[in-house]
């Protein structure tokens, strides 16, 4: 039976059979102790208070221990100007292309900005974590074959965009996550399978296949 893939979390696995991609923090992670799937990136919330060259150097020096770059991305709901966010995102995408790593993306009110990057960097695979775009946004992003979608806690709100568009996300481009919530990944899978109206085993098998394909260059 396939394992649960938790595409983005800040916790250790808490469910039997869970593969968790844990988000690490640039300034505190000790790579000598990393023996689990980890993603590292410069979050847009931290762009204004982090030396970009230093952050890129940390990623470069430790890329062999990373399963993905991120979370990184764009957030137009914060005070940090978009220009330094765009620069930091571009630089991290370039590293992802160089090292053949997927990018886990934080994107808030900036899907149009992101789409330009997805188009320009067609050789890089992106996963929009915590996706909350509406149907129109989803249809626009589905045009890019290198863009995947990860959803989680908002599935428990039937009026959320995540719940309303879940059925329209192709299963071969879908991931599930817990992020910072206390929810367990099996709870997310159960809820998603109810909304999509498929057997949970089928959903697990498909997402595991997505994971194996997207992260095929990684040792985890």
pLDDT, tens digit, 9 for 90 and up, residues 146-194: 999 999 999 999 999 999 999 999 999 999 999 999 999 999 999 999 9
Query: Is residue 57 within 8 Å of residue 90, measured between CB atoms?
Result: no
Residue 143 CA to residue 139 CA, distance in Å, equals 7
The CATH homologous superfamily of the domain defined by 4-214: Metal-dependent hydrolases (3.20.20.140)
Beta bridge partners of 38: 22
Total H helices, total E strands in the chain: 7, 8
Residue 54 CA to residue 50 CA, distance in Å, equals 8
Integer angstrom CA distances of residue 188 from 24, 58, 136, 150, 178: 22, 33, 24, 11, 7
Q: Report pLDDT digits (tens) over 80-119.
A: 999 999 999 999 999 999 999 999 999 999 999 999 999 9
Give the up-direction half-sphere exposure of residue 112: CA atoms within 13 A in the CB hemisphere.
4
Residue 24 has pLDDT above 70, yes or no: yes
pTM of the model: 0.95
Query: Is residue 186 within 8 Å of residue 203, measured between CB atoms?
Result: no
pLDDT at 217: 58
Which pLDDT band, with edges at 50, 70 and 90, does 34 fall under?
Answer: confident
Structural domain boundaries in the chain = 4-214
């Amino acid at each position: 039976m396939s394992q649960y893939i938790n595409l983005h979390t800040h916790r250790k696995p808490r469910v039997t059979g869970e593969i968790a991609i844990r988000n690490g923090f640039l300034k505190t992670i000790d790579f000598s102790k990393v023996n689990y799937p980890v993603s590292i990136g410069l979050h847009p919330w931290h762009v204004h208070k982090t030396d970009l060259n230093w952050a890129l150097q940390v990623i470069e020096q430790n890329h062999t221990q990373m399963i993905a770059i991120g979370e990184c991305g764009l957030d137009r709901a914060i005070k940090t100007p978009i220009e330094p966010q765009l620069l930091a995102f571009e630089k991290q995408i370039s590293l992802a292309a160089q090292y053949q790593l997927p990018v886990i993306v934080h994107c808030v009110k900036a899907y149009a900005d992101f789409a330009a990057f997805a188009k320009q960097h067609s050789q890089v695979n992106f996963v929009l974590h915590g996706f909350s775009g509406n149907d129109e946004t989803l249809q626009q992003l589905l045009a890019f074959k290198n863009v995947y979608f990860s959803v989680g806690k908002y599935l428990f709100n039937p009026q959320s965009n995540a719940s309303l568009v879940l059925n329209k996300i192709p299963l071969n481009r879908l991931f599930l996550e817990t992020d910072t919530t206390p929810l367990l990944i099996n709870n997310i899978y159960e809820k998603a399978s109810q909304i999509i109206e498929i057997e949970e085993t089928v959903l697990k098998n498909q997402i595991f296949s997505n994971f194996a394909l997207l992260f095929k260059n990684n040792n985890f």
